[in-house]
């Protein structure tokens, strides 16, 4: 199958079950909301080494936030509920509470939640106060610019991680331009995050390694310099650069929509092929076939 001159490989992205949440950060100005969001999502590219994956979903206008101030929506993912709760406490405490003028709210209502403000309140050393509005509790923690307001409990839900596209270009410039176009298209969609720098990863990985104790290693099948020495290759002869886009979402549907949008935006002359990373179906519960995104759209 083709999109214009770009070949779409008959393969699938192997995604897996995660737990996800949305965090809403607000501040006196958009620059502080973005500063907190960027800090909170730092070093959160892969659960392999970072214990969680996170990304800024979008900027929020004042009329979209609980306290009527500019803000940012952040998505954060981990492998289970307990791990997600721990990462939220760490990152909100270290990256949001520390940022001038910020407040922090839960962005999801679900049947599953975890205590966040209820744990961070102890930083107030006994001076913290609670406030209940309707059925929601908030904590007011004294800090040096006034108070840090944080919601008591944050919702979480089952999510999907590891959706991906591998963009195979005849040269690095074409591959980078295609990746940037795909990222722009995906970031316009709700309920998804791109955890890697600029939304793109050049060091795609495979499961396992020849070195003991290393859970993942370079995806040699997509490394152009290893084409003649590593055995089987996933690259067409004309490809000299491959870049991967990894997508996490609050649902399989959201991930599929993002992959479909990314494929359409990336296809262009010089992008020889679009492929995807998988492990033969042995790792993840979801197999998102690229051709199905073209034939049947994003709905599974």
28 versus 281: the higher-pLDDT residue is 28
- Reported as a pLDDT band with limits 50, 70 and 90, residue 177 is very high
Tokens at residue 161, please? 């991680």
- 131 CB-near residues (< 8 Å, 6+ apart): 137, 138, 139, 140
- Calculate mean pLDDT across residues 46-69: 97
- Positions of CATH 3.30.70.520 in the chain: 2-15+161-295, 18-157
Rg (CA), the chain: 21
Query: Each residue of 18-44: pLDDT tens digit?
Result: 999 999 999 999 999 999 999 999 999
Summarize the confidence of residues 157-178 as an average pLDDT: 97
pTM: 0.94
244-277, pLDDT tens digit by residue?
999 999 999 999 999 999 999 999 999 999 999 9
Quote the CA–CA distance of 267 and 269 in Å, as a whole number.
7
- CB-based contact 149:103 (threshold 8 Å): yes
Select from 27, 72, 30, 77 the least CA-distant residue to 50: 77
Is a pLDDT exceeding 60 seen at residue 300?
Answer: no
Q: Which residue has the tokens 């296809």?
A: 267
Q: Which of these CATH numbers, 2.60.40.10, 2.60.40.2580, 1.10.287.3510, 3.30.70.520, describes 2-15+161-295? A: 3.30.70.520
CATH code that applies to domain 18-157 = 3.30.70.520
Report yes or no: 24 and 104 within 8 Å, Cβ to Cβ. yes
Distance from the Cα of residue 180 to its chain's centroid: 16
> What local confidence, expressed as pLDDT, does residue 297 receive?
61
* Selection from 167, 162, 160 nearest residue 262 by Cα: 167
């Amino acid at each position: 199958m083709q999109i214009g001159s770009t070949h779409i490989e008959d393969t699938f992205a192997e995604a897996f079950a995660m737990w996800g949440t949305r965090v809403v950060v607000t501040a006196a100005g958009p620059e502080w909301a973005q500063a907190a969001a960027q800090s909170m999502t730092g070093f959160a590219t892969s659960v392999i080494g970072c214990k969680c994956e996170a990304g800024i979903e979008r900027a929020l206008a004042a009329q979209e936030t609980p306290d009527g101030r500019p803000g940012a929506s952040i998505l954060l993912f981990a492998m289970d509920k307990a791990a997600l709760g721990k990462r939220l406490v760490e990152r909100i405490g270290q990256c949001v509470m520390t940022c001038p003028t910020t407040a922090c709210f839960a962005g999801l209502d679900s049947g599953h939640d975890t205590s966040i403000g209820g744990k961070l309140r102890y930083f107030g050393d006994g001076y913290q106060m609670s406030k209940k509005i309707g059925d929601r509790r908030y904590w007011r923690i004294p800090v040096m610019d006034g108070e840090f307001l944080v919601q008591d409990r944050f919702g979480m839900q089952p999510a999907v991680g590891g959706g991906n596209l591998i963009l195979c270009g005849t040269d690095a410039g074409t591959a980078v331009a295609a990746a940037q176009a795909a990222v722009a298209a995906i970031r316009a969609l709700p309920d998804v995050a791109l955890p890697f720098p600029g939304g793109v990863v050049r060091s795609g990985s495979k499961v396992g390694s020849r070195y003991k104790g290393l859970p993942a290693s370079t995806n040699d099948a997509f490394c152009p310099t290893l084409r003649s020495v590593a055995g089987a290759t996933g690259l067409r002869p004309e490809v000299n650069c491959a870049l991967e886009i990894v997508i996490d979402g609050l649902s399989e549907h959201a991930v599929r929509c993002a992959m479909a949008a990314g494929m359409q935006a990336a296809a262009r002359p010089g992008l020889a092929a679009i492929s995807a990373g998988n492990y033969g179906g042995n790792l993840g519960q979801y197999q998102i076939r690229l051709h199905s995104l073209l034939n049947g759209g994003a709905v599974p």
